[in-house]
Structure 1
Amino acid sequence: MSVAAEIAELWSAGTPVVYLVTPEEDRAVAACEAAAAAFDARTGVWSSQRGLEPQAPGARDPAALLDALAKASAPFLAVALDFHLALEAPAVARRLRDLVPRLTAEGRCLAIVAPRVAIPDGLQGDVAVVRLPLPDDAELSALLEVVHAGLTHGAAPSPLSAEVRHRALVAARGLSEVQARRAFTRALRRDAVLGPDAIAAIAAEKKRLLAADLGLELVEAPDRPEDLGGLATFKAWMEERALAFDPDASRFGLPPPRGVLLVGVQGCGKSLAAKAAAARLGVPILRLDLPRVLGARAGAEEGLARALEAAEALAPVALWVDEIEKGFAGSAPGEGGDPRAARVLGAFSTWLQERRGPVFVVATANDVSRLPPELLRRGRFDELFFVDLPDLEARREILELHLRRRGRDPGAVDVPSIAELCPDYSGAELEQVVIGALHRAYAQGRELETADLRRIAQDVVPLFKTYEEQIKGLREWSRGRARVAGRPGAVVDLFRRAQG
């Protein structure tokens, strides 16, 4: 159902106030006008600067708008821009509450257009909230036609091929109408036939706008599962889940995979695993900056809703939520019971459970004590994995990977002995062993040797030395709660070693 049809249906059912949540005022006004056209009704658009146009341009005061609405011949729809600010005044809210019965009985309606929901107490039952969705492919296609024709300055525009049009629309998915117009304009001015450079310009504009407006970052993800050292169980699980993205999977009765939650020790590859998962699925990866989206501002819920809507518009996509426990700090009663944080957590949990479309969520967490229990319920994620310090075999894989990435043959040095020398090292610390050894060899003007790796490995103080109790606590927590991301039996080996 279109937004215009939804407004018309709510209005015809006697809804006195429709609350359109969107930063796109022009699209919201157009939807309201289309809804009024279905009733052959009149509309007026109000702002504090222009009054109610065209009926009462002098009614710039919110109370004057409500008086004009009460006197207008029914059926009538008044579209009020930023009226949520006016409703902060108790007198205005009281006037609207008094007017509600007449609006319902006489066929008038007030449509509030605002970027966030702010409904005073006492009005919630009379207000229907409608979120204006992002433009779909049909709307983006029509917008592309308008922009293309407008840049020709009267000359007949050269037609765009179906393939070029499709690439442009795919590149623009997830943008608002204003943002898409800007991106199309930039691309068409660069290349009127939308060649590869122009499509790249649309993608670059989208990347910039998503990061600036929604806290979403399109991440380059060259990491493949085979570029991830260790985590054998997780990689095998991803191989199986990736098959569910095939077209035949839905016909077989398989839903798209929902996502995975990775908890565990810092520096052990959770972020790399998120990128590798997206690469295995063959989809782009979006990083959601939760602390930035939520922040301390009043529009946190709307900011999160817009970011998640953009992610769905870009599907199929992987959504990476890094250190998810920090984003929802304060949501639990024991953490102060911040009602705003609790509402946002509730909205995010509901989206995880009920989202539509192939959005594969990869969430990572370091501090399980701060993880809200809502996120650990089955149905939010397909699986919960515990990422521990790498075992001997995984340390050897990680060292070999980092040597190969830097143009070195692992067979030229004694990797197994270095792996045995680093029993409590994280993946990040093993990388620093390789980098530090290369620095040492370069400073001495010679090629890398096993002695360089051994010297640096002996000098590094692993995180385990400082946070041994916390890491052991993580391992204890994971038993019976999470699958081991590494080699089966690796955690058992670690417990045995610790007891020995």
Structure 2
Amino acid sequence: MRMEKNTTYKFKKDLTSLLKARFPYIYIPTWEEDRVLSVIKGVACDKDTIRTPRQVFTWSLTSGIVGQSENVSQETKSPIKALEFIEKCSEASVFVLKDFHVFFGVNGRGQDNEIVRKIRDIASSIKQSNKPKNVIFVSPSLVLPIDLQKDISILEFNLPTAEEIKTLLNEMIQVNSSTGRISIDLNEDEKEKLAKAALGLTFQEAENSFARAMAQDGRLDASDIELILDEKCQVIKKTGILEFIKSNLKIEDVGGLENLKRWLMKRNKSWLDSAQKYGLPAPKGVLITGVPGCGKSLIAKSISAMWQLPLLRLDMGRIFSGIVGSSEENMRKAIKTAEAVSPSVLWIDEIEKGLSGQDSGDSGTSTRIFGTFLTWMQEKTEPVFVVATANNISKLPAELLRKGRFDEIFFVDLPTFNERKDIFKVHIKKRIKDDFVKGDFSLTDEVLSELSKITEGFVGSEIEQVVIAALFEAYSEDRSITFEDFEKTIKNIVPLVVTQAEQIRAIREWANVRAVAATPKEDLFNYELKETSKENNSEGNYNNPEDIKSSRGGRAIDF
């Protein structure tokens, strides 16, 4: 049985222990009042679970203390009166106080000192009462004054597990399929995927998302995963730190990089229960480094679509805040959100700009954030797949690069001949669809080979711009596109292999012994970069194949 299936059982066990030990104050931060209250009642009233069953009272600012049948007294709406009632109560009881955190303030500001003092005053009388009594604070956020930190025990109440959500899904399927108005087309694997997609939602949110999926088109099938992810998007947006990226990019839309693609495909569905039969953990993530413009970000987006998981982008600029201490809290909140909506893909673009961790001149904030991230990467148990991309890998410290943080480090080099053919094919098919625009132009293997030959050293983003610029040539003259449009555009582009030759050479030297080539070894031939300039190239073609010879970065390993 997986760990996640035992989380509710563990909560019940921990709560039972605290009640039996007569802990006076327990704090449960959760949005799910009804669900946690149901569990509390189940524990407190069960003679087999707890030796002395206890009556459960609830309190809120609008209703006061409410017993099992009716209000105890209207006067108990006042928090002081409620605490006095608890102190005088002579029966075995559990008091659940809702949203009491509003009296605790934030960082000592806005704190109601009288109420905090009263809580401390009655702590000993609650512990020494003839009949066992416990007070449980239930609030959506954890706010704990320093004065009460030694008196209150915090108990985590996790969101529903995949097993619990799947049980809910099966119950909804049973109820709605019997009416004949809802068509259900799901096998067991697809049910598991739907349940995993709803992880991170409260029980009520999951129920609402399944109901919406059924009501939208009168059926429930695997395609409704997208709708469930839309619900999770709301959770992510509310954090203000993570950004939900909706990507329809298919892995086939990324030209080349077959080695990296195969590695990713083999790890698809590895977060499902079926992977546990093989004793496999969920993959931690990959670090993708290499030449700018060669498809690192495209790969991150395509993983989300291929694995049908939400893609979360962590903007390091939002992590660093002007308030002292808030940057660290922002990082913890981002990690907690990513775990709450797991399984998910967490994308950190240009990680070297935000997690250098050293000598940033910010009183150690970057170092602390870096340390928090490293610890989480090493110890995380939730299926959050981290995709980090980096252009300047030399800025990253060695601690981030060692095994255990990422499953693999891939190096994306300049596209090979075959990869350039694939990239041209993707972009030409994507953009040239109209018959008038296409005209007599035919996308044959010979055309792709010729385009690939004359773009030696071009990166993927430059090839995309070649296609766009060629289309502008045809559009400006209101005619069909021709092969000559491509040739003209290519001659006018100074590729990155020329403008950043030294940087590319340095990246390759680093990757040769430290990273795995994203390109299969059968395609590995590449270039030795030479200094090239407009003055020594009379034809204006700065990417002459004669200037670029073999020597590729990244170890040639096939997956």
TM-score by length of 1: 0.76
> How big is each residue's C-alpha offset from its partner over 1:391-446, in whole Å with a ceiling of 9 and x where there is no partner?
555334422432344465143536445554452x4311211111221332344455
1:229 is matched with: 255
% identical equivalent positions: 28
Would you say the 8 A contact 1:179–1:209 is kept in 2?
A: no
Q: Provide the aligned C-alpha RMSD in A.
A: 4.6
1:453 is matched with: 486
The 3-state SS of whatever aligns with 1:289 is strand
| Bigger Rg over Cα | 2
1:43 is matched with: 56
Higher helix share: 1
Pick the aligned partner of 1:311 from 313, 331, 342: 342
The 3-state SS of whatever aligns with 2:409 is strand
Pick the aligned partner of 2:92 from 54, 75, 80: 75
Would you say the 8 A contact 2:417–2:452 is kept in 1?
A: no
Would you say the 8 A contact 2:210–2:228 is kept in 1?
A: no
Check 1:329–1:259 CA distance in 2 against 1; reply closer, same or farther (3 A cut): closer
Would you say the 8 A contact 1:51–1:60 is kept in 2?
A: yes
> 1: CA distance between counterparts of 2:448 and 2:96?
74
The 3-state SS of whatever aligns with 1:413 is helix
> 1: CA distance between counterparts of 2:354 and 2:333?
15
Unaligned stretches of 5+ residues in structure 2 = 1-5, 106-110, 433-441, 533-546, 548-559
The answer as to 2:354 corresponding to 1:323 is: no
> How big is each residue's C-alpha offset from its partner over 1:343-378, in whole Å with a ceiling of 9 and x where there is no partner?
776665455434446554333344657757664342
Check 1:247–1:494 CA distance in 2 against 1; reply closer, same or farther (3 A cut): farther
1:52 is matched with: 65
> 2: CA distance between counterparts of 1:247 and 1:179?
23
Unaligned stretches of 5+ residues in structure 1 = 313-317
> 2: CA distance between counterparts of 1:492 and 1:165?
46
> 1: CA distance between counterparts of 2:492 and 2:187?
57
Check 1:319–1:439 CA distance in 2 against 1; reply closer, same or farther (3 A cut): same
CA shift for structure 1 position 30:
2.2
Would you say the 8 A contact 2:339–2:382 is kept in 1?
A: no
Check 1:329–1:70 CA distance in 2 against 1; reply closer, same or farther (3 A cut): farther
Matches within 5 A, 1:72-471: 72-73=89-90, 75-88=92-105, 89=111, 91=113, 92-106=115-129, 107-121=132-146, 123-125=148-150, 126-134=152-160, 136-138=162-164, 141-142=167-168, 145=171, 170-171=193-194, 173-174=198-199, 175-190=201-216, 194-195=219-220, 199=224, 203=228, 206=231, 209-213=234-238, 215=242, 217=244, 219-224=246-251, 227-238=253-264, 241=267, 251=277, 253-277=279-303, 283-291=307-315, 300=330, 301-302=332-333, 304-312=335-343, 319-323=345-349, 325=351, 334=360, 336-337=362-363, 349-356=374-381, 359-366=384-391, 368=393, 375-406=400-431, 409-411=443-445, 413=447, 415-416=449-450, 419-421=453-455, 423=457, 425-460=458-493, 462=495
1:315 is matched with: none
The 3-state SS of whatever aligns with 2:76 is coil
Would you say the 8 A contact 2:425–2:448 is kept in 1?
A: no
Would you say the 8 A contact 1:331–1:337 is kept in 2?
A: no
Would you say the 8 A contact 1:44–1:79 is kept in 2?
A: yes
Would you say the 8 A contact 1:319–1:360 is kept in 2?
A: yes
The 3-state SS of whatever aligns with 1:311 is coil
CA shift for structure 1 position 36:
2.0
Amino acid at match of 1:22: T
> 1: CA distance between counterparts of 2:495 and 2:99?
55
TM-score by length of 2: 0.69
The 3-state SS of whatever aligns with 1:263 is strand
Would you say the 8 A contact 1:437–1:448 is kept in 2?
A: yes
> 2: CA distance between counterparts of 1:479 and 1:47?
64
Amino acid at match of 2:310: L
Amino acid at match of 2:54: A
Would you say the 8 A contact 2:246–2:311 is kept in 1?
A: yes
CA shift for structure 1 position 22:
2.0
> 2: CA distance between counterparts of 1:15 and 1:230?
61
Check 1:327–1:48 CA distance in 2 against 1; reply closer, same or farther (3 A cut): farther
Would you say the 8 A contact 1:20–1:132 is kept in 2?
A: no
The 3-state SS of whatever aligns with 1:77 is strand
CA shift for structure 1 position 389:
3.7
Would you say the 8 A contact 1:148–1:157 is kept in 2?
A: no
